[in-house]
Chain A
Amino acid sequence: MINAIRRLIECAVGSAVVETAIFVPFFLLFAVGITDLGSVMFAGMTVNAATQAGAAYAIVNSGPSGTCASLSSSCLSGIKTAMSNAAANSSWCTTATCAATITGCADGSPKCITVSVSLPYSPLLPDPAYSWVQSLTTLSSSITVRVL
Chain B
Amino acid sequence: MIFGIENETQMHRFLTCPRGAVAVITAFALPVLLGFASLGIEVGHWYLGQRIMQGAADAAAISATAQYIADAIAGNSSSTTYQTVGVSYASLNGYTIPTSNVCLVSSSGNNCSSVLALDSRAIVCASPPCIVVEITQNTAQWLTTRMSLEPSTANLVQSIPGPTIGARAIVSANSQTQTITKEGTDCVLALANDSQAVLVHGNGDLQARCGLAVDGGIDQNVSGTAHGGISFSGSHAKINVSALVVSASSTNCPDSGAHCQQYGSSAALPASAVYTSTATQDPYASMTFPTPPLGVQTGGVAIKTAGAGYTNGTCTFTVNGGTGTSVKFAATITSGKVDTAKPVTVSDPGAYTVFPTNPVTPATSTCGNGTTAATFNLTEGCFTWISGVTPIAGRKYCSINLNGAGTTNFPTGSYYIAGGDSGCQGFCVSSANASVTSDSAGVTFYLTNGDGAKSLGASSYGTMNITSGAISLCAPGTNCGTTCVSGGSCLLFVQGAPAAVLAQHPVPTLTANPNGTTCTACNSFAGNGSRTLSGLIYLPRQAFQLAGNSSIGGCFGVVAKYIDDGGTPTFSDGCLPGNGIGGTTTTTTTWSAPYLYQ
Contact = CB atoms under 8 A, between A and B. Distances in A.
A51 B41 contact: no
B55 A44 contact: no
A109 B66 contact: yes
Interface centre among A48, A60, A62 (most CB of B within 10 A): A48
Interface in A22-37: 30, 34, 37
A141 B52 contact: yes
Contact of B593 (A30, A49, A55, A63): A63
Nearest to B33: A30
A48 B56 CA distance: 11
Chain A interface size, as a band, is: 20 to 34
Contacts of B525: none
Contacts of A45: 47-48, 51
Interface string B31-51: 000100100110011011001
A41 B55 contact: no
Interface in A112-148: 133, 141-148
A106 B92 CA distance: 10
A107 B48 CA distance: 29
Nearest to A31: B37
B70 A148 contact: yes
B320 to A, nearest CB: 77
A59 interface: yes
B143 A143 contact: no
A6 to B, nearest CB: 16
A146 B52 CA distance: 18
Nearest to B143: A133
B66 A147 contact: yes
B52 A41 contact: no
Interface in A75-122: 106-107, 109
Chain B interface size, as a band, is: 20 to 34
Contacts of A148: 66, 70
Chain B interface mostly: helix
Contact of A41 (B45, B58, B66): B45
A19 to B, nearest CB: 7
A95 B311 CA distance: 112
B59 interface: yes
A12 B55 CA distance: 59
Given A48-B52, A52-B58, A146 B44 contact: no
Nearest to B63: A146
B67 interface: yes
Contact of B51 (A48, A60, A144): A48
Contact of B55 (A30, A34, A51, A60): A51
Contacts of A143: 55-56, 59, 93
A37 B44 contact: yes
A48 B55 contact: yes
Interface in B559-598: 593-594, 596
B345 interface: no
B233 interface: no
Contacts of B59: 55, 143-145
A41 B89 contact: no
A85 B48 CA distance: 19
A143 to B, nearest CB: 5
Contacts of A63: 593
Contacts of B41: 34, 37-38, 41
Interface string B86-119: 0011001100000000000000000000000000
A52 B57 CA distance: 11
Contacts of B47: 41, 45
Contacts of B70: 109, 148
B417 interface: no
Given A38-B41, A48-B52, A109 B92 contact: no
Contact of A107 (B45, B54, B88): B88
Interface centre among A60, A62, A144, A145 (most CB of B within 10 A): A145
Contacts of A59: 62, 593-594
A147 B595 CA distance: 12
B135 interface: no
A109 B48 CA distance: 31
Contacts of B122: none
A70 B47 CA distance: 34
Interface centre among B19, B47, B66, B596 (most CB of A within 10 A): B66
B1 interface: no
Given A34-B37, A63-B593, A44 B48 contact: yes
Interface string B5-37: 000000000000001001000000000001001
Nearest to B60: A145
Contacts of A34: 37, 40-41
Interface centre among B19, B22, B54, B92 (most CB of A within 10 A): B92
B85 interface: yes
Contacts of B52: 48, 141
Interface centre among A49, A63, A148 (most CB of B within 10 A): A148
B53 to A, nearest CB: 10
A109 B596 CA distance: 21
Given A37-B44, A49-B51, A144 B93 contact: yes
Interface in B364-396: none
A48 to B, nearest CB: 5
A34 B40 CA distance: 9
A145 B593 contact: no
Interface centre among A49, A59, A146 (most CB of B within 10 A): A146
B171 to A, nearest CB: 10
Contacts of B67: 109, 146
A6 B74 CA distance: 93
A94 B54 CA distance: 26
Nearest to A145: B59
A89 to B, nearest CB: 18
B39 to A, nearest CB: 12
Contact of A146 (B37, B40, B62, B143): B62
7 contacts: A44-B48, A48-B48, A59-B62, A63-B593, A107-B88, A143-B93, A145-B58
Shortest Cβ-Cβ A-B pairs, 3 listed: A146-B63, A145-B59, A52-B55
Interface of B: 19, 22, 34, 37, 40-41, 44-45, 47-48, 51-52, 54-56, 58-59, 62-63, 66-67, 70, 85, 88-89, 92-93, 143, 593-594, 596
Given A38-B44, A146-B89, 20 more contacts: A19-B22, A30-B37, A37-B41, A41-B45, A44-B48, A45-B47, A45-B48, A48-B52, A49-B51, A55-B59, A63-B593, A107-B88, A109-B70, A143-B59, A143-B93, A144-B89, A144-B93, A147-B62, A147-B66, A148-B70
